[in-house]
Each structure stands twice: as C-alpha cells, then as structure tokens.
Structure 1
Amino acid sequence: MAERLDELVGLYRGVTIGTFHRFCLNLLQDEEYAYRLIGEAERMILMRELSQHQLSSTQQRQYLDKISKYKQKSLLPDQLEDEDDEQFVKLYQAYERTLHQEELYDLEDLLLQSIQLLEQDPSLCHQLQLRFRSIHVDDYQDINEAQYRLLRLLVSPENDLCVAGDADQSIFGFRGGAPTYLRHFEQDFSFAGRPARRFTLWRNYRSPECVIDISQQVIASQSNQHRIIQTSIFSGLSNITYLHTEDEHTEARYIAEQIQQLISPSTEDEVSTETSYTLADIAILYSSNQQLPPIQKELKRQGIPYRIAQPISIPEKLPELRLFLALLRYLSPPHGDWLALYELFSTWPHLSAMTFPQIQALRSQHPHLTPDDCLAHAPEWFALGPKLSQEAKKLRELIRSMRASIQTASAKEFLEQHLSQMEDMLDERWVPGKETRILLYERAAATPFFSDFLQHLLLEEDPDPYIQPAARLSLRSLTAAKGTEYPVVFLPGCEESFIPPSDSPEEEAEHRRLFYVGMTRTKSKLYLSHVKHRQLDGERQSRSPSRYIQEVYDLLDTPDEAEENRQQDIFSIIRTEEP
C-alpha cells in the first residue's frame, strides 16, 4: 500500500498505513502500555498448561480459535451468556487472568484494549479524531465487530471516512468478518448535514471479460442488493483453460509443463504468438495443504523455483521455526520472557525435564525471579546431570550472543549470524532450512530493525508482500491470495471437499466468494483443473468436479479436440475472445 501510494501521489511520509492490529499496537505503545504481544506458539503453551495437558493439540487449537472469535465480537468470559461448554469458559477465564498477570496481549487484545482506552479517555479519542482528518479502510466487507467499534470511536463529524468494499469478496468469516457492516455503512456514518454516500465502481481493471463472466456466475445465486455487474476494460486474446486429469501427479505435471511453455515458449508452439511471462507473473492458488506435496515435487523435478507465500509466525505451518521464534521472543524483554522460556525448555534438545509446574513452583517461592535467573541456575535448581547442564549452558551462550548483537546488527545480519551459530550447535532438524531462511531474509530485508521484525512475525504481517524475486513463482492458499494479482493463475483441485471444503449450508456463501476471489486474481490467463482420483488420508479416492465448475461449464466453449485430449486423460476447454 505504501509503494502504491508513493507511485500515485509521491511522498507519503506522515501517512499512517497499516492493519487494524498494527494501528492499535502503535497506539498502545504511544500511550506507554508496557504489555508484550505474544504469538501463537505461546498461546498454545498457555492453553496446554492451563488445561493440565488434558486437551489434545487439536482441542487446544479449537479453544484458542474460539477465544479469538469471541474477542473479535468484543465478548470476554463474563459476557458469554449462551456458551454451554463450562470447561471452555473456565479456561477462557484462566487464560485472561494469566495474560493479565504476565502483562501480555494476544492479537485480539490489541483492538479490545485500544477500544477500552478510547472509551475511557474521551480527550484522547477527540485528539485522534482531530489528528486523523481522513481515514481510509480497504476490504471493508471483512471487518469484524471489534474493528467496527474502533472505527465508530475514531470517526466523527469533524473528519472523513472513505471505505472500499465488495460484499461478494467477503471471505474472512472465520476471523469474525461480516459484510453486514458494509451494507449498513450509510446508516452508521451519516451525520447531520453530512450524509454518507455510496459510489459504484463497475469497471474492472484487472481481469479479462471471460473471467468476470464466469466468476460472477458462481456468485449469482447469492443475495446481494448492492451487487455490481462489472465490465472489463480489457479486450483482446484471453482464455480460460479447464483440464481434467487422472490423478494429482498428472495434474501437477500438466501445470509444470504449462509454466515451462509460458516462460520459454517454443517458436513451434502457438503459445509463442502470445505474451512471454516470467515466473513472478505466475501463481498457483490451492485450497488445501494436501494439494502441495505433488505440486512441489513436480516443480522441483522440472527445476521451477517457487515461493510458498504464507504467514511464518505460526509454528504449525513451519515447525522448524518453533525453536528459533521462541529464541526471538525470549530476547524481547530485557531479562527474558517466561512463556518463551517454557517453549525453549520444551524444544531445546534434552531440556524438556524442566516442566511448567516445576518452574511455576519456583516462581511462587521466589517472586522476583527473572527468566534469566532461572536459566542461569537451571543445573542446580533442577538437579541436571552433566549432559543436560551442558545443553543448558549452550542455550545460555546462544541467548547471550544474540542479545549482544540486537542493538548493533540489522535484522538480516542478526539472522545470518545466529542461524549459522545454531547450525554449529544443533542438529539440522532444529534449525530453519534453506526455503524457510529465504522467507526470513525477505522479511528482514523489509524491516531492518529487530523489534519491528519480531512484531511483524507476531502480528502475522508480511511487511512487504510484494517482495517477489523474478526467479520464482508464488504458491498461495486461496485465502492468502486476497489483495494480489497475477497475469497467470492456476487453480488446481477444483473438486468437492476442496472447493468447497464442506457441505455446510452456513458456509456455502463464503466458499463461493472465496472461489470468486481466486478466479479474479488473474489479469490474463486462468487455468482450472480437477482430478479423477487423488491419494488422501492413505487411500486412493474417487473425486468429483466442484459444483461451481459444473454451474459454469456451459459458459466454456468446447473445441473439437477436447475428445482427443480426454482420451489422454487431459483435456482443455478454452474460451477465446478476440477484439
């Protein structure tokens, strides 16, 4: 957004640009709120210990997701009138109590605490209204209750609010987002003498007309009184390719071969008469992580570099980062962090003997004990043998070295130095691998200061999602594709149980919108595919094409050669439009 603003209007210094969470974090820091932000790994540790290891990892995650959803609705434990799960309510209460005792915020607390601050301090609220004379919100269809409440506090008759949104692109219901707020915008933000106004932007500046026709057909059954019938400004040769393959390996091979043709067209191939593409122009959008292995394997086999674009702050997605992120979080406070220390003891080789209850008991006996004290005296306090004492010493040395370089090294220099140090000290399974390091280096290049780098990881923010070396294509989940655009988009796995992932009537509308968003990421070419059989959960399963594909099938022209391609277990259905 900063880059685009700079291109459009020049100098943008002084303009506040960021997510709701980033805005709230800056506000709380400006007001000298000393609480520290925790990441998902620490939340998992906290839930695991509060439940006394009685919940599975899946149940812990479900409870944490439930807590986040309640907070997105601005509901704290004492406000849950309709919650029947008594165990959950007790854990939610204990979770909130522990965060307060440890002076910690989770992600959703940033909004809740900011709302509370502004509600309790009308003078500060008025100062912000005067400071931000013009407030702009993108993707307004995806805001949740807490974000809406914050906006109501920031907006007054004395400043302006401009939002952009499309109810047909509301895809973050799992985060509490709802298009309801977009529909009620005029009612919510009209003031005496200053009624809110709605402008319809009907020209599509991204996708070709054939893509718009098909994507709008997918969502045509949804009720939306403000639906915009879009018209593309683009004319010329455009196509949608639909292929049906025998299995996921054939599908992956076809995708890789098409990519090779797009980036290196043969003079004998009809593709050569079209635009030549770079790998940075191409994205593969997937709906399930189960699709990734065969695609990654084939891309590697054909020597096609790729980048998996996903938040790297969630250890469940990149397990090898768990130890390294715990080290980063431990370094944030001056004398260490207790939750990060628990994580270090459970992930550093051989130190899991120092358990949460033991450390809690030690803390109760010594109220002024710091995490650094605990780590320094671990061998004698926990009666560690020679081998474990040596491991504790290695951990202390690494932390001491890291802490010494925080003030002087850039984030990238810090990573290079200490990832190498970890390699010398630990088995490779405990150290981020090559692909993960590339992601870390890219993030560090966009945030030179260590504190900003760590906050970006904890906020699940990509400081510059457009950093994309020309030598690699993007692999993105459908939800992570929001806000992006590519000349060429592949959408494999257009099958029932993938697209849509379930038959839930409550989620049907959002699944349709997600498919719509995925298709409209393309600026030129769109490839849709599904397979007859796929290896899932250890068995070969028959697959059916997505109901959404079946609904738009008639909009796809079928050339005569389709039958020949079908006999080879691959066929292409191409719709071509000429000027």
Structure 2
Amino acid sequence: MTYAVQEAPPEAVLDGLDAEQRAAASTLTGPLCILAGAGTGKTRAITHRIAYGVRAGVYDPHRVLAVTFTARAAAEMRSRLAALGAPGVQARTFHAAALRQLQYFWPMTIGGTLPQILDYKIKLLAEAAKRLRMTTDRAGLRDFASEIEWAKVSTLTPEGYLTQAKDREAPAGVDHQAFARLYQAYEDIKEDRHLMDFEDVLLFTVGMLESDERVAAQVRQQYRHFIVDEYQDVSPLQQRLLDLWLGGRDELCVVGDAAQTIYSFTGATPDYLLTFRRRYPNADVVKLVRDYRSTPEVVKLANTLLADRRPGGEAPWPAPLQLISQRAAGPAAEVTEHADDDAEASWVAEKVAEATKAGTPLSEIAVLYRTNGQSQVLEQALATAGISYQLRGSERFFSRPEVREGIAALRTSSLIAEDSVDSVPDAVRGVLSSIGWSREAPSSAGARRERWESLAALVSLAERMDAERAGLTLKTFIGELDERSAAQHAPTVEGVTLASLHSAKGLEWEAVFLVGLCEGLMPITFAQTQRELDEERRLLYVGITRAKTLLYLSSAAARHPGGRGRRKSSRFLIPLRKELGLEAPTRRIAPGSGKLSVNAAARKRKAAVCAGCGEVLTVGAEISRRRCAECPPRYDEEAFESLRAWRLSYSKELGLPAFMVFSDATLEMIAEKKPRTDEELLAIPGIGQRKLEQHGDRLRAALREFSGAA
C-alpha cells in the first residue's frame, strides 16, 4: 500500500547526507540498526529517513512513531520533521507515548478515571516507612525512590525484587527484605489513593496491551513503523513495551552507541542494541563514524580512551566505533594538574576569561564534573572572576536542601554558645555530623552520597577559611556563607554551563573543561567491579565528545590549599597523556595553580607536622592532634573512651553539644599526654585559658579519677 506523495522529488530530501547517512535514510523497510558515534549526525539521518519515507509514499506520517528519551530531544525531532515536510509524525518519549495510549484506552478497558500521576515518591515513602516503624532521613528516602525505580524498570515486583537483587548494594543501608516490605507498603498506599508513579505509566500500558488483545490490535493498527533513538539506554520495561507495540512485526529502526551507555544504574542496558542482529537476523546495519562535531584532536583522544580498554575480563567490551573527524585541525587538548581544588577552579576561571576574549561566547563553554558536590568551588571561582554561569541538571549549590539545612543548623549552633567555639572546622563537623556528614564518604552512589558531597563542601570551606583567617568564629563563617549564597544567586542571562557529566549527555559546546579527574572521582570511589569501571570510562568518553574545539582535562593533587597532595590523577589520563606526548605527572603543576614559591617553601618548613611521618598538616583537627589521617593514633584508647564518656555526661549537665566542651582531637591529646598540671593542660591544642577556667576543675577531677582507677 502506498500513500500520496508530494510534488517535490522524494530523493531531494537525501541531498547533503554523507554516504553512510544516505544509506541509513534510504533503507525504509525491515529492521534497521544504525550504530551512530558521538557527533555523527544521527538525528539528521533518522529525521531525513522518516521524511524520505513520507515523501516516497512508503510511510503514512500519522502511522509513524519516533521514540526518544527526553522531551527536549523529542521536540527537536518534531521541529526537524516539520521543516522536512513530515509534520504529522509522532515524536515522543516512551512515557509520553504510553501515557497518551493509557488515557485513551483506560475508560474502555479498566473503567473509571485514570489514576493521578504522583510527582514525587518521597512523601508516600515516608508514610510507608512510618507504618513499618523504619527510621530514615530524606537522603535515605531518595535512595529508596531510586531503588523502586530500578526495580520497576527491571519489571520486578516486591517479591521478585528479593530474588533478583541479592548482588545489589542494600539501599540506604536497609537490608533487601526490609526494603521489599517498604516497596510493598508504598504500592499499597498508592493503590488505596488511586495514584500511579512515573514507572506505572509504562507498567500499566504493558499490562493493558498484554491483557486486552483488542487494545493491542488497535495500537498496532495505528502505528506501523517505529524508530527508537538512544537505543543503548532502553530498560527491560521499555523493551517489553516496544515488543508489544510491534506485535511480532519488524518495521523497526533503532539508533544507538554502546560506548555512550552511562545510565546502567537506572536499569538501562546496551544488550538490546548489541544483540539486535541476533533477534533480527535479516536486519541491515549501518555505522555512522564521520564526526562533524569535534576536531581531529578531540576525536583522537576519545578514540584513544576507548581503545585503552582491552576486550576480555569479567565484563564484555564490544569493539567501539572508531570516529573520523570531518573538521579542520584545531588546538591540542590540554592536560594539567593543579595543587588543589581552589587552584584548579581559579585556573578554569582564567582560561574561560581567555576564551571569551578570543571570541568564544560564554554559552559555548561548559565545565563538567563527576559529582554535584564539586560545583561549589567552581561557582565561587567564576563568581569571584565576575563570570556569569548557570547550573544544569542540579540546583545551585546554596539552593540544595542539605546545604540550606546545614547552614540553618550552624546558625542555631552559633546562637547557643558562640564564644565557646575554639575551632570552627571542628564545630562545623560536629553540627553537620548530626545531619549526614561523616569523615568517610558513603561507599555507594545515590542521594546519600550527593548529600554527603554537599555537606563535605561546607566542611572544606570551613577548613580553608580557618587556615586563612585568624580568630575565625562561627558567626563570621555563617556570614560568609550568606554572602556567597546571595552573590551566586544573581540572575544570569548568558553564562558558562556547570554540569555533571551525566546531565551533559546529548549536548555540545565549543570549549569543554573536564575537572576533578583524579582517582576517587573519575573513576568514582564506589566503582569497584569491571562493569562499574567500564561505565566510568564511558562517562569520561561522553564528556570528551561534548567538545567541539577546545578541550581541557585537569586534576588537583589536594582537596585543600596547602594540602599534602596525595591524590593521584585518574588512570584514564594515562593513555591520553601518552597520546599527547606528555610525561607522567610526577608533578606537572599548571601555571597559576599554587606552585610553592621560595617564601612559601620557607613557611612550609615552619608549619605544623605530623609526629608520626613528618608530613605538613593543614587540616585543623589534624594540627590539633599533631597526627595526619594516615598515621595510627598514639593515645591511650581506654583513657580516650573514658574521657569521651565523661564529656558526654558533663555536656548534658551544661546543656551543650559535647564537641563544644572539648573536641575529639583535644581529648586524644589529653589521652596521649596525660597532663598533670595547668601548664601541661594549657600546652594542649584546644585548651585555652578560658576553657581551663570554664571546665578545668571538672576535667582535673576526671583525670584524677581515671589516674586512681588505673
């Protein structure tokens, strides 16, 4: 059956396509798999394919469904199709297409009104946790929501979850059995209130098509040809829905790139893309490898990164597409190492200023990082330099709930006993530890890790300010936070994009900075298995291929200014440095990045050092302890625990937080030195004359008691 064609020759729509794009666009029937590398014009190829099919009379535009993963991508596809003369084609996300069908068929299949879509799971999950007497916080609830989303897109019920999730890390520290009960309680509440969540849209549509053959037949009659973009990101649930739409037919075109699979944690899998020929033996396969986005220099680095991962091992590694740049040569990428995060951020601001002076608009510059917690120091550096910026894919640092909560907790603490705080960093750690901060980062991804990253940024800021300003008080610190918050909320019309690597997928910029490329961040700490490390490699690949012309890759040897510099550059930079002809980073400190001067070296020799290994100490608590984090404690552990118990009892009498009496660092030094006189007490960091007058009598009595007991 054919349809009326337009007067213009159908082949005209293929003009301007390269050979591979033209091959993809002119293959109108049967299963087709388009393997499209980054920047190779896949959207151009599939929109021209649809338009050609409509013009040639092979497609009825109203019976074509193009599916992609974001509303932005769907809107762009509809716009291009309209410009190409195919305005009637449906281009939607999986959820939008399913919801439309659900709204139409629900009254005739189920009856009554369609359940209301639940915007956020958190409120219902909190209620479900309360019913089960489970104690959790907001970060834990967000992790529960993510785990439920994973279970649903993996088509797992609460009962099925228990059998399939044995190898997954327990969400928010709750065992799988308890989570399964929470999952069921959440489902029960949702059903009682006639609600459905985002994943239910797909699940209900699948259930409707599977249970009612009349509905399935009507949908299959409506849509004859299917195109699925970003096919490497489909979940089992989305594939199940696609199979039901097809109903055994093979009029399917899929487009994807296994090397850009970066959402495995949400249930996405490239397996359906990689096994397409196995499921459709007669499928045509077209590879798009001509990169029109990036210069040869950028493309070569991207290819090098993927080629460095050899096939084999516990996880499969399909041969990646080898991109071939179609652009003229450009500048070589820069790989730099900086003394610390602040120096790295300042360097980024300097390079951004240089790029704008050379004619690159701010809107064509992006700074990409692995975790949202890295944005704060970058926001501050750009704000200090007077450079406008905008955050993508996350709230501004000072708008994040955990940051607002932390500042509120600090403000309350400053009202309790402002004058009794000897160490602002210790006070900040003490306050923030009650709302989720700990010395050790969470070992898994998710909301709890993101919350910790944000709170850790506040702790880091307190440590930097304490090192830079004598006599720093909590009140001064909170005032600084308020000023930074106000300055960084200034409205911007055009600015540098700050974004996580995940949220940068599908975008491109003239200049891209990839920052924080050190072990622990890239790859992230909790990436332990080969599959997880492969995902990190692909994530960096996506970051590199966002750049059109200018590419900067940087790392920082230390988190804080003057730090020990023990961070190692990312293992992924090793082949890139080799490709660029750079030496191994024994210490290639970038200009302006805080390299020690002669005077600074002299100051370093006079700085506090660890009594164990002799390393210079820069963190307040370590200076107080006279011990770095790596060296074992030298104090009497029994005495220390006794002092902690005494401090807890004494602080309750005073109505103060325990750390405001004496910090742990001070108690450790007391347990080590075992002072007997006031002079010996005053020699211990954290015990000044005022503290001795306030708490000396009780402390001396406690020490005498411990000494007598010993």
The reply on whether 1:77 has 2:158 as its aligned counterpart is: yes
Tell me how far apart the structure 2 counterparts of residues 294 and 312 of structure 1 sit (CA, whole Å): 15
For 2:117, give the aligned amino acid: L
Structure 1 CA distance for aligned equivalents of residues 204 and 152 of structure 2: 11
**What is the alpha-carbon distance in structure 2 between the residues aligned to residue 564 and residue 183 of structure 1?**
41
The equivalent of 1:19 in structure 2 is 93
Match of 2:540 among 489, 498, 515: 515
Q: Which runs of 5+ in 2 are unaligned?
A: 1-72, 107-112, 167-175, 312-316, 406-481, 596-710
Which AA in structure 2 matches 1:72? V
CA distance in 1, matches of 2:305, 2:206: 38
Corresponding position: 1:480 with 2:561: no
2:115 equivalent among 18, 30, 35: 35
User: Structure 1, residues 169-194: CA drift from partner, whole Å, max 9, x if none?
Assistant: 1110001011111111123346xxxx
Q: What is the Cα deviation at residue 96 of structure 1?
A: 1.1
Distance 1:58 1:312, change over 3 A: closer
Cα offset for 1:303? Answer: 1.5
User: What is the distance in 1 between the residues matched to 2:564 and 2:132?
Assistant: 38
Tell me what 1:232 maps to. 325
Asked if the contact 2:306–2:320 (Cα under 8 Å) also holds between the matched residues in 1, the reply is no
| Structure 1: gaps of 5 or more residues | 266-275, 323-428, 439-468, 572-579
Change beyond 3 A, Cα 1:257–1:320: closer
Partners of 1:129 and 1:154 within 8 A in 2: yes
Q: Distance in 2 between matches of 1:564 and 1:227?
A: 31
For residues 545 and 228 of structure 2, the distance between their equivalents in structure 1, rounded to whole angstroms, comes to: 21
Counterparts of 1:553 and 1:64 in 2: how far apart (Å)? 40
Q: Any idea what the Cα deviations from partners look like across 1:240-278, whole Å, max 9, x if unmatched? A: 11121111111111111111111123xxxxxxxxxx211
Task: Give distance in 2, aligned partners of 1:249 and 1:523.
Answer: 26
Contact 1:492–1:528, Cα closer than 8 Å, also in 2: yes
The answer as to 2:288 corresponding to 1:264 is no
Query: Hey, what's the Cα distance between the residues in 2 that align with 1:72 and 1:434?
Result: 41
- Change in 2 beyond 3 A, CA 1:158/1:556: same
Matched, 1:203 2:290: yes
Q: 1:97 Cα shift?
A: 1.1
Match for residue 123 of structure 1 among 193, 214, 235: 214
Task: Return the alpha-carbon distance in structure 2 between the equivalents of residues 31 and 63 of structure 1.
Answer: 31
CA distance in 2, matches of 1:28, 1:541: 57
Q: CA deviation at 1:222?
A: 4.8
Counterpart among 286, 309, 318 of residue 392 in structure 2: 309
Displacement, 1:46? 3.6
Alignment of 1:229-378 (within 5 A): 229-265=322-358, 276-310=359-393, 317=400
In structure 2, the partner of 1:97 is: 188
Aligned to 1:132: 223
Shift of 1:564: 9.3
Q: Tell me how far apart the structure 2 counterparts of residues 222 and 102 of structure 1 sit (CA, whole Å).
A: 52
Which residue in 2 is equivalent to 1:544? 568
Give the equivalent residue in structure 1 for 2:24.
Answer: none
Distance 1:316 1:179, change over 3 A: farther
Per mean C-alpha deviation after superposition, the further-off stretch among 294-303 and 4-13 is: 4-13
CA offsets 1:394-437 (integer angstroms, 9 cap, x no match) = xxxxxxxxxxxxxxxxxxxxxxxxxxxxxxxxxxx9xx999889
Amino acid at match of 2:284: R
> 2:267 is matched with which residue?
176
Q: 1:543 to 1:183 in 2, by over 3 A?
A: same
CA-based RMSD: 3.4
Q: 1:558 to 1:507 in 2, by over 3 A?
A: closer
2: CA distance, partners of 1:531 / 1:79: 44
Letter aligned with residue 156 of structure 2: L
Bigger RCO (CA 8 Å, 6+ sep): 1
Give the structure 1 partner of residue 79 of structure 2. Answer: 6
1:311 and 1:140, CA in 2 relative to 1: closer, same or farther beyond 3 A? farther
Tell me the SS of whatever aligns to 1:293: helix
Amino acid at match of 1:49: K
Larger radius of gyration: 2
Q: With structure 1 as the length reference, what TM-score do the two structures score?
A: 0.65
Q: How far off is 1:25 after superposition?
A: 2.4
Matched AA of 2:185: A
Letter in 2 for 1:3: E
Distance in 2 between residues matched to 1:12 and 1:125, nearest whole Å: 26
Aligned partner of 1:516: which letter?
Y
Q: Structure 2 vs 1, CA of residues 470 and 133 (structure 1 numbering), >3 Å: closer, same or farther?
A: farther
Contact 1:137 1:164 in 2 (8 A): yes
Q: Aligned ranges for residues 384-399 of structure 1 at < 5 Å?
A: none
2:162 touches 2:180 (CA, 8 Å); kept in 1? no
AA aligned opposite 2:387: I
Q: 1:98 to 1:209 in 2, by over 3 A?
A: same
The CA deviation at 1:533 is 0.7
**Structure 1 pair 508/488, CA: closer, same or farther in 2 (3 Å)?**
same
Checking the alignment, whether the CA contact within 8 Å between 1:118 and 1:153 is kept in structure 2 is yes
Following superposition, the deviation at residue 63 of structure 1 comes to: 2.9
Contact conserved, 1:284 with 1:476, CA < 8 A, in 2? yes
Read off the aligned partner of 2:551 and give its amino acid letter.
L
Q: 2-side partners of 1:310 and 1:568: how far apart?
A: 30
Equivalent of 2:198, from 89, 93, 107?
Answer: 107
Q: AA paired with 2:76?
A: E
Structure 1: distance between partners of 2:129 and 2:489: 27
Query: Which range moved further: 234-243 or 26-35?
Result: 26-35
Distance in 2, matches of 1:529 and 1:564, equals: 11
Distance change (3 Å), C-alpha of 1:54 and 1:175: same
C-alpha displacement of 1:489: 0.6
Supply the distance in 2 between the matched residues of 1:290 and 1:570 (Cα, whole angstroms).
22
SS of 1:94's equivalent in the other structure is helix
Q: Residue 17 of structure 1: CA displacement?
A: 2.5
1:155 paired residue number: 246
Contact kept? 1:202, 1:228, Cα under 8 Å: yes
Cα distance change, pair 137–433 in 1 and its aligned pair in 2 (3 A): farther
Show the counterpart of 2:620: none
CA distance 1:474–1:51, shift in 2 (3 Å):
farther
| Whole-angstrom distance in 2 between the partners of 1:8 and 1:17 | 9
2:242 maps to amino acid: L
Superposed CA offset, 1:89-134 (max 9, x none): 2211111111111111122211111111111122222222222232
Of 513-522 and 66-75, the range deviating more from structure 2: 66-75
Count of residue pairs brought into register by the alignment = 416
